[in-house]
Homo-oligomer: A and B are copies of this chain.
């Protein structure tokens, strides 16, 4: 059977997240529906990241196996886009080596968090960036963000109730691209715990507005206690930017 891979972009505003849920509009559901109209088989796809309701994607990667699709691979993005709603676009498609799996084959992922600073929210950025009214100290944020780089235990930033074997992840980089009024914070790691990026951003927002110091952040990390960390940053500022494969 052929193994397919697709890069899928979406504006998550109108979706209950990537993953199929009964009775909800999801990105996976829309993709599977469109794929199933292009051949005889009911196709199930696997996504590299299970983005939550409201989270966007620039580089979500999905894979699936099938041998019934009649559309040649180079036409597949166009054929799917003709069936998909305009807030989901397939921007690349290729035949992957046997055994390729969008999630298990990924070696790293990059998430980007977008923050808009201003006295008033922006009507143009409101769907894609988190609005903060008070000016941010981006130098403090940048310094503090480096505390998250390395092979570290992110237990304090895992959503409560999530069950994983280990809460250790290897954060490869955290960069802050400040171009006010819009600032982008990028996190690249070998993997992320559930809601980890939004929890890290919650802490960085508190640092940027002087409510937490670098010393406080170290204490939170060391505590491994989610209850000590800041509020989770809103979903709509988050974008799955890129999934890396070896």
Contact = CB atoms under 8 A, between A and B. Distances in A.
B123 A89 contact: yes
A4 interface: no
A126 interface: yes
Contact of A120 (B77, B122, B123, B128): B77
Contacts of A91: 119-120
A91 B122 CA distance: 9
Contacts of A130: none
Interface stretch (A80-88, A172-180, A196-204, A222-230): A80-88
Given A9-B123, A91-B119, 10 more contacts: A9-B120, A9-B122, A10-B123, A11-B123, A56-B123, A81-B120, A86-B121, A87-B123, A89-B122, A89-B123
A11 B124 contact: yes
Q: Which of A88, A91, A123 has the most CB of B within 10 A?
A: A123
In the complex, the count of this chain's copies comes to 2
B120 A89 contact: yes
Contacts of A58: 124
A86 B119 CA distance: 15
A56 B123 CA distance: 9
Interface residues of A, number: 21
Q: When A and B form their complex, which 8 residue pairs have the shortest distance between CB atoms, in order from nearest?
A: A11-B123, A91-B120, A9-B123, A89-B120, A87-B123, A89-B123, A10-B123, A86-B126
Interface in A1-33: 9-11
Interface in A85-114: 86-91
A216 B122 CA distance: 40
Q: Pick the most buried of A77, A91, A128: most chain B CB atoms within 10 A of its CB.
A: A91
B120 A124 contact: no
Interface string A30-73: 00000000000000000000000000101000000000000000
Contacts of A90: 120
B9 A126 contact: no
Contacts of A119: 91
A113 to B, nearest CB: 15
A121 B81 CA distance: 10
Contacts of A126: 11, 86-87
